[in-house]
Each structure stands twice: as C-alpha cells, then as structure tokens.
Structure 1
Amino acid sequence: MTRSDVLIVGAGPTGLVLALWLTKLGVKVRIIDKTAEPGTTSRALAVQARTLELYRQLDLSDEVVARGHKTPAVNLWVRGARAARMPFEHVGADLTPYSFLLIFPQDQHERLLIERLEALGVMVERRTELLGFDDADGSVTARLRGPDGAEQACTATYVAGCDGARSRVRETIGAGFPGGTYRQLFYVADVEAAGPALDGEFHLDLDEADFLALFPLAGTGRARLIGTVRDDRADHPETLKFEDVSDRAIKHLKIDVRRVNWFSTYHVHHRVTERFRRGRAFLLGDAAHIHSPAGGQGMNTGIGDAINLAWKLAAVLGGRAQDDLLDSYEAERIGFARRLVATTDRVFSFATAEGRISDILRTRVAPLLIPAVIGLDAAREYLFRTVAQITLNYRGGPLSIGTAGHVHGGDRLPWVSVDGRDNFDPLTAMNWQVHVYGTPAPDLAAWCAAHDLPLHRFEWRPEHDAAGIARDALYLLRPDSYVALADPSGSVPALERYVAERMLRIGSAA
C-alpha cells in the first residue's frame, strides 16, 4: 500500500497548482486523474493579474505571459456598432505589474503546469479513478481503480478533491452542492476569422436576441466565441453544429468566420458546496464552486483555493502549526466563493436575460450609462481591481489582525515599484516574512534575527504613502503573500501575541 502526505484527485489547473506548491514546500504528493490525457481544448482562458502575481512564487509568471496574449481592453457592441471601450493599460499600471487581461488557453496552461511538475519528479497518474475513501485513525485510506481496471488501496494524511463539478470526494464526504442551472444553452467555438473585432481585444455584443462574447487568442485572426443557442434548436444540443446557431450577433460584430477548429455546447451552473473541509478531506476549484464565465473568474478562483490551502497543509504536516490552521481554509475561501457566484450571476443574468424590458436595458440604457461610468477613473480602477481579483481579501478571518495605514490584516499587500525595486520581489519566497517601510524598531530586527524570520526594510518613499502603507509599521506576510498582521507601532509584542495565540512557528529557528 503506497502512502503520501496528500492525495490530490484531479489534474486540472487547480490540482496541478496544488501539487506544484506542495512539492516546492517539501510535501510528498500523489496526483491522480481518471482521464487518459490532459485536456486538448481551450476551456478556461483568462489568467487574472492576482494569479500572475502569485505565480511568481513558482517562477511561472514570465513564461505564462510570454505564451499568452495580452488583452488591453474590453469593448461593448450594440446593434452592430461599438458602444464603449474600457482600456486596461493605464488603469492598473500603479496597482500591479500585470495591468492587462491575459488570455492563455487552459489546455496550454495545463501542459505548462505538468511540465513543471514533472521537472520536480512528480507524474500525474492517468486513467486512475478514486472509488471512495475512509477517514479514520489519523489518515485517509483511498480505494482506486488503475489503468488495468484492478482496484488498489493507498493511504494519505489528507485528500484534496480537485475533481470537478461531479466530484467523488465531495460525494464521499456528503457535502451538498446547492445552486442551479441557467436555462439557456451556450455554445463555444474556437475560430479563425477576420473583421474589426479581430483586433486582439475582448468584445461583447449586447443584442436584443443573442448573447455573444469574443475572446482573442494568440495568433492573427484566432478567437474564442461564446454565445447562446435560442429557440427549439436548444432542445437537441447533441446534434448541433456551428452552422446551426444564430449568426445574428456574429454579423453584428462583423465577424467573418473562415474556419471552425472546435465547437461544443454546454449549460452553465451556479453552485457552492456547503463545506470546503470535512475531517482530512478538502474541496477545491469546481468541486467546491461553479459559476458563470462572466469575468473569467472560475479557473483563477480554483488556483487561489490551491495556493491558500497548500501552505497551510505544509505547515501542519511539517509540525509548524496545529491542525486547526486548516479550518481557516474554508473560513477564508467559502465566503469569497459565495460572493463571486452571486456577482457573476447578476452580470450573467443581465447579459443573457430575455424579454422586452431586458432588451431595452441592454440596448438603450446600458450604452448610455456604461461609457459615462467607465469614463470615471475611480470606476475603471474598481472594475479592474475586481476582475483582476486584487481586491480579494481575508479581512475578519481567523488569521487576519490589525490595521496600519489603509492596509488591514487579510489584505493583499499593495504593490509598489520605486526606482525599479518591486516590493513584491521578496514575496517570491514561500515563507513568513516581515515588511517595514521606513525604519524597523530595534527590538523587531533583533527578534526576527533570533527567530530566523526574514525582515525586509524598504526606504520610506511618497509612493508607499500613496499606496496606503504606514511608515515604520510592521506587516507580517503569510507564505501566500497576504497580510496576516498589520501593526502601526511596529512592536515585537504584537508579533509575539499573534504567533502565540495561533500556536505558529513562523521562522526556521522558532
């Protein structure tokens, strides 16, 4: 019987990122997937700025950006004309090193993650299916069916369900999956085309009858189309071809489709599981939450789940934290998942609703309001922050304490670049660390040195104040780069209290 620290079920982006993070942190993983090979179609597309920031810890960001397509703006079309354009290039320039929407198809994304994982000596076990597991006596005993059809058993300290909407892990722990399914049938097509909308930007048609979104892909004239299938054709999705769907919105966007490389239909769901943890089992990604594609949030949220859980599992398995640290995974992620589902549901319902009033709102009211709103700097910044997931925070969570300046415990640390020095550079290390912008208190420097806790000092500059950072304050950063403790006094007692109350070892000499 084989044994690992963590059995990961599912080798999509969520499972692969979890495996990578854990392996880099010295955790022994086993990752299985019942499919014979990685995905070959470009399902999820968007890689948001916050994901790219976190990918710096895996030295992945530069390669993902190099392989992907930077999308500089979103365009809204009404009745065959471009009604509004929202650029990203400048609105996010002071917020993140990645002030754009990156398009990097999921199949290519998965292949890159698999390459990195194999370089670390971990192979995905294909055609291997989880049948069930028992959680008892301090470990998980799982029953697997291998490629030859024979059943086998394995043990692990924890099991992570990254196995999608029909999760066997979720089924085994008895977690409900409340929510619903949108009535509309949607199609997706990867095409080669020409026309004014094939300009490397994102385009959305707010039509009276059809919904259509165009995502640019790398390469001239390549795009992903996502649209609705109306009337009685939606009753027989298994027989539909691209030629069968309405071309009204396609004509509105003036798209001349030359070739269809892939076409499929699907229904969109909106669900959040009742729990993200039960005992030694955890749910992540689509196994925990599924929602509309509005805003390109799904894959990024699953990756965020993986990063949040990975450092906590590593800390507990390494004896640097108690098991109850793992309860903070659900506490921090389930609330965000519920808010995300509610938000994308509202956006998606507006964009796809049928009826006379909905048509008027989309085609007459929205074209007047949207340009006026996105003409405001504050509105553009808010929209970018939200879509890029850099507003995501864990304020009020069990690991989040204090406020210094405008930065709260649980916040993403504001990004500041001064004279070519980036305050996110130290965050590439997967460890606890302290940041001080200004002068650290003498006792703080001594305490950090005694506990082998990295202390990063940044010379105070006006840019730090503009970003909301407090001078000489203490910011304790978690291994996933979120602020754990923000203390304006910069004192050691606040740091000692934080560590003692949570029974954490945050330095190698602690």
Structure 2
Amino acid sequence: MNRSDVLIIGAGPTGLVLALWLSKLGIRVRILDKTSAPGTTSRALAVQARTLELYHQLDLSDAVIQKGHRVAAANFWVKGEPVARLPLSRVGEGLTPYAFLEIFPQDEHERLLIERLEAFGIRVERDTELESFEETGDGITARLRLPDGQQETCQACYLAGCDGARSIVRKTLDTGFPGGTYQQIFYVADVQASGPALNGELHLDLDEADFLAVFPLAGEGRARLIGTVRDERAEHADTLQFEDISTRAIEHLKVQIEQVNWFSTYRVHHRVADHFRSGRAFLLGDAAHVHSPAGGQGMNTGIGDAINLAWKLAAVLSGGAAPHLLDTYETERIAFARKLVATTDRVFSFVTAEGRVADLLRMRLAPFLLPKMASFETSREFLFRTVSQITLNYRGMPLSTGVAGHVHGGDRLPWAHDGEGDNFRSLKCPSWQVHVYGDTSDEMIAWCHEHHLPLHVFDWRPAFEAAGLGRNGFYLLRPDTYVAIAETCSDPKVIERYFRDRGIRPFFDAH
C-alpha cells in the first residue's frame, strides 16, 4: 500500500508550496490533482513582499522577480482622464528587500513551482481524485480514483486539503463554511492591447459606469482586465463572451483591444471555514477561506498557510516536536483569515458599490484624497505594510512571547539594512535560530553551541535601532522567520523553558 508522510490534495500554489517546503525538510509527500494539466487561465496576479521574503528560503524569490513584472505606479481615472498617480516602485523602501508590487500570473507561478518540485523527484499525480478518507489510529486511509478509473487505497500520516473553494476534504470533515456571495458578476480577460493604459503601470477606472482595472503583465502590450458585468447582461453571465460586455470603461481608459487570449466571468465569495483542522486533516488556501480579490491577498494567504503548516508538520514527523504543535496552525491562521475577509470586504464594497453617494465618493472624493494620501510617507507606508502582509503577526498566541525594542513575540522579524549588509541573510535556512543585536552572554554562546542552535550576533548599528530592534537582548526565530521569543536579557534558560513547555526539540529537526 502506498504510504506517504503527507498526502496533499490539490496542486494550486498552496498545495505546491506545501509540497516544496516539506520536501526541502526531508518529508515524503504525495500531491495529486483532479485536473489533467496545470491551469492556463488564472486570476491571482500579485506576489506580495512577505511571500517573496519567505520564498527566499527556497531560492524562489529571484526567479519570480525575473519572470514577473514590477509595477511602477497605480493610476486612477475619472471621466476618461487620469486624475491621480500613486508611485509604487519604492513604496515600502526600508521595510523589506522587496519594496514593490510584483505581478506574476498564477499559471506561470504554478509552472515554476512544479519545476522546482520535480527537482526533489516529486511529480503531481494528474487526473487523480480523492473519493473519501478516514482517520485510522496512527494515520489517514484515503481512497483515490486513478486516471484509468481504477481505485487505489493509500495511507498517510497527515492529509492536507488544498483543493479549493469546493473542497472535498472540507465537505468530508463536515466543517461549516459561513459567509456569502457578492451580487456583482466580474469578468477577467487576458488581452493584447495598446493605448496610454498599456504603459506597464496599473490603471483603475473609478467611473459610475463600470469598474475596470488594467493590470500590466510581463511583455509588450500584455494586460489583465478585471471589470464588472452590470445591467441585464449579468443574468446571462455563464454564456457571456468578451464581445458581450460593456465597453464604456474600456473606452474611458482608451484601451485598444487587439486580441483576447482568454476570458471568463465569475462571482466573488467571502467565507472562512469554522475549523482549519480536524484530527490529522488540515484545510489550507481557498479550501479554508475565500475573499474578494481586493488587494491581491488570496493566493498569498494560501501560501502563508502552507509555510505555517509545513515547518510544524516537518517538526512533528521528524521527532522535533510533540503532535500538539499542530494545534497552533488553526489558531494562527484562522484569526488572520477572518480579519482579512472583513478588510477586503470593506474595500471591495467601496469599489463596486452602486448609487449616487457611491459614485460621488469614488469620482470626487477618492481622486482628491488619493494623491494627498500618497504624498504622506506614513499613509503610503501603512498601505504597503497592510497589503504586503509584512504586518501579519501572531502576537498573544501560544508560540509567541515577550517584547524587546518595538518587536513582540509573534511579529515578523523586521528587516534592517545599511551599507554593512542586512539581517535577513541567515533566514535562508528554515530552522530555529537566535539573533542578538549588540552583545550577548557567554552562557548564551555556550548553550546555543551545545544544543546546535544557530546563533547570529550582529554588532550594534543605528540601522537596528531604526528597525525597532532591541539592543543586547535576543530573538528566538521560528523556521518561518517569525519571532517566537523577544527578550531583553541574555539568559539561555528562557529558551530552554520555552522549548520544554511547548514540547519542541529543535535540535532533532530533520534539517
């Protein structure tokens, strides 16, 4: 009987990243998908800064940047004229090595992940469907339908449902999926086009007629259009062709369509599963939460789920942690998913609302306020921090403790950079490690050496203070580069107690 450590259902970005991370950590995975080939049409475009930071651990960030497109600015149009331009090329400068908006379409993204996974000897099993599964003592027994129609029974220690909004894993677990569906129908089209809005920047039409966003893709004149389908056309959304949609917004933005490469309509849902875990089965990505595309958060959140779960599964499977470490996956990720759905819901409702007041806000107030906000570094920084997911934190949760400087346990480690280098270099290795900014004790050095816990001591520099890091204390970092302990002293017993209380033995990690 085929047995793996982790059986992954669904080979979108979430499932592929989970498989990649686990493979890097020496865990045996199987990944299957009911489709016969990777997607060629995709909706997710933005790869946020936090995702790029984490991708650095897999040598992926440079490839994404090289293959994708960096967006220099967002432009807002009213009545056929551009009224505001928000520069994006250095919007998060000083906060992250990836202080920009990166566009890399999901289909190309998936191909890159598949290629990297194959380097570990793992292939996606296509045309293969999960029919049912049950938990049996020390694992999961799953029944699969193979490409030839035959059935296969296989076993795994854990099962990961990365199988989208209609997840068979979630339905089998009988977990509620509360939320709703927005009434608006959207269309998405990849086009070859020309005109002022095809200058490699992002363009948004704020008119009352139709909502339209033009997202630049890598390559001359390539763009993704996302717009609303209004009036009576919405009743026939399933049979609509590109020729049927209203051209008002397209004409407002002076977009000359030369070729439509693909076209689709869809409704937007906003839902979060009641639970992200039941026993040995987990829900990730769209199987766990779906929300509006506002801010390009969906795919990045699914990838965040995968990375959060991967190191914990690897630790438990390799004897580096007690099984209850896995309880923290739901605690940490469900809180963020709920907050995200509420936030994107508000933005989405503003952008797509109909009526005189909504039109007035969008057409009069927004064009006036946006440039003003853009001119303030603090508002620009706030926007970037939120959208880029670098402020996502696990404060006050079971794996997070302490405060040192402005950094709390549960925060992402702040990036500090100056002419002498940065503090992210050591993060490439996805393992527990200790950072000290300034001086530390002989006891700390001896203890870390004895327990094979990497210790990085940085000479104190103004850049560290500017980033909010505390001097002469220490930060214990998790394998996903979030801060586990922020401490002002340099007593290794604090680390020893932390690991003992949580049943973690990082010195036995597979890596």
Sequence identity percentage: 67
Distance 2:171 2:122 in 1: 27
2:457 maps to what in 1? 457
1:111 maps to what in 2? 111
Distance 1:109 1:90 in 2: 23
The answer as to 2:371 corresponding to 1:371 is yes
Distance 1:506 1:28 in 2: 19
1:122 maps to what in 2? 122
Asked whether the 8 Å contact 1:202–1:214 carries over to 2, the reply is: yes
Residue-by-residue CA offset, 1:255-280 (whole Å, 9 max, x unaligned)? 11111111111111111000000000
Structure 1 residue 389 displacement after superposition: 0.7
Distance 1:442 1:226 in 2: 59
Report the TM-score when normalising by structure 1.
Answer: 0.98
The answer as to 2:301 corresponding to 1:301 is yes
Distance 1:170 1:290 in 2: 13
The answer as to 2:384 corresponding to 1:384 is yes
Asked whether the 8 Å contact 2:273–2:288 carries over to 1, the reply is: yes
Distance 1:436 1:317 in 2: 30
Distance 1:72 1:476 in 2: 36
Residue-by-residue CA offset, 1:355-409 (whole Å, 9 max, x unaligned)? 1111111111222222222221100000011111101111111100000000000
Give SS of 1:468's match: coil
Structure 1 residue 503 displacement after superposition: 1.6
Distance 2:371 2:102 in 1: 23
Distance 1:91 1:365 in 2: 23
Residue-by-residue CA offset, 1:340-360 (whole Å, 9 max, x unaligned)? 111111101100011111111
The answer as to 2:492 corresponding to 1:489 is no
Asked whether the 8 Å contact 2:315–2:506 carries over to 1, the reply is: no
Give SS of 1:258's match: strand
Structure 1 residue 238 displacement after superposition: 2.5
Distance 1:509 1:163 in 2: 29
Distance 1:434 1:93 in 2: 26
Aligned CA-pair RMSD:
1.2
Structure 1 residue 440 displacement after superposition: 1.5
Q: What one-letter code is carried by the residue in structure 2 that aligns with 1:213?
A: A
Return closer, same or farther for 1:276/1:221 CA change in 2, 3 Å cut-off: same
2:403 maps to what in 1? 403
Give SS of 2:121's match: coil
Distance 1:104 1:165 in 2: 22
Residue-by-residue CA offset, 1:78-112 (whole Å, 9 max, x unaligned)? 22222222212233120111111111111111011
Asked whether the 8 Å contact 1:86–1:380 carries over to 2, the reply is: no
Structure 1 residue 209 displacement after superposition: 2.2
2:230 maps to what in 1? 230
Distance 2:21 2:427 in 1: 14
Unmatched 5+ stretches in structure 2: none
Larger deviation, residues 484-493 vs 114-123:
484-493
Distance 2:214 2:263 in 1: 14
Q: What one-letter code is carried by the residue in structure 2 that aligns with 1:12?
A: G
Asked whether the 8 Å contact 1:42–1:108 carries over to 2, the reply is: no
Structure 1 residue 509 displacement after superposition: 9.3
Distance 1:428 1:30 in 2: 25
Give SS of 1:374's match: helix
Report the TM-score when normalising by structure 2.
Answer: 0.98
Distance 1:290 1:217 in 2: 24
1:94 maps to what in 2? 94
Residue-by-residue CA offset, 1:162-219 (whole Å, 9 max, x unaligned)? 0000001001111111111110110001111111111111111111121101110001
Distance 2:331 2:148 in 1: 40
Distance 2:257 2:490 in 1: 60
Q: What one-letter code is carried by the residue in structure 1 that aligns with 2:314?
A: A
The answer as to 2:334 corresponding to 1:311 is no
1:252 maps to what in 2? 252
1:29 maps to what in 2? 29
Structure 1 residue 420 displacement after superposition: 4.8
Asked whether the 8 Å contact 2:416–2:464 carries over to 1, the reply is: yes
1:191 maps to what in 2? 191
Q: What one-letter code is carried by the residue in structure 1 that aligns with 2:100?
A: F
2:352 maps to what in 1? 352
Structure 1 residue 141 displacement after superposition: 0.3
1:288 maps to what in 2? 288
Asked whether the 8 Å contact 1:70–1:101 carries over to 2, the reply is: yes
Distance 2:379 2:441 in 1: 39
Q: What one-letter code is carried by the residue in structure 2 that aligns with 1:140?
A: I
Residue-by-residue CA offset, 1:429-472 (whole Å, 9 max, x unaligned)? 01000000111111101100000000011111001000000111
Q: How many residues align?
A: 510
Q: What one-letter code is carried by the residue in structure 2 that aligns with 1:227?
A: G
2:180 maps to what in 1? 180
Structure 1 residue 241 displacement after superposition: 1.3
Structure 1 residue 508 displacement after superposition: 4.2
Distance 1:421 1:146 in 2: 51
Q: What one-letter code is carried by the residue in structure 2 that aligns with 1:379?
A: S
The answer as to 2:195 corresponding to 1:168 is no
Give SS of 1:351's match: helix
Give SS of 1:200's match: coil
Give SS of 1:326's match: helix
1:334 maps to what in 2? 334
Distance 1:107 1:91 in 2: 27
Asked whether the 8 Å contact 1:88–1:384 carries over to 2, the reply is: no
Give SS of 1:123's match: coil
1:139 maps to what in 2? 139
Asked whether the 8 Å contact 2:320–2:507 carries over to 1, the reply is: no
Distance 1:500 1:187 in 2: 53
Asked whether the 8 Å contact 2:70–2:89 carries over to 1, the reply is: no
Distance 1:196 1:275 in 2: 47
Asked whether the 8 Å contact 1:452–1:508 carries over to 2, the reply is: no
1:412 maps to what in 2? 412
Structure 1 residue 42 displacement after superposition: 3.2
Residue-by-residue CA offset, 1:218-240 (whole Å, 9 max, x unaligned)? 01111000000111111112221
Give SS of 1:402's match: strand
The answer as to 2:262 corresponding to 1:262 is yes
The answer as to 2:60 corresponding to 1:79 is no
Larger deviation, residues 490-499 vs 57-66:
490-499
2:66 maps to what in 1? 66
Distance 1:327 1:12 in 2: 24
Give SS of 2:332's match: helix
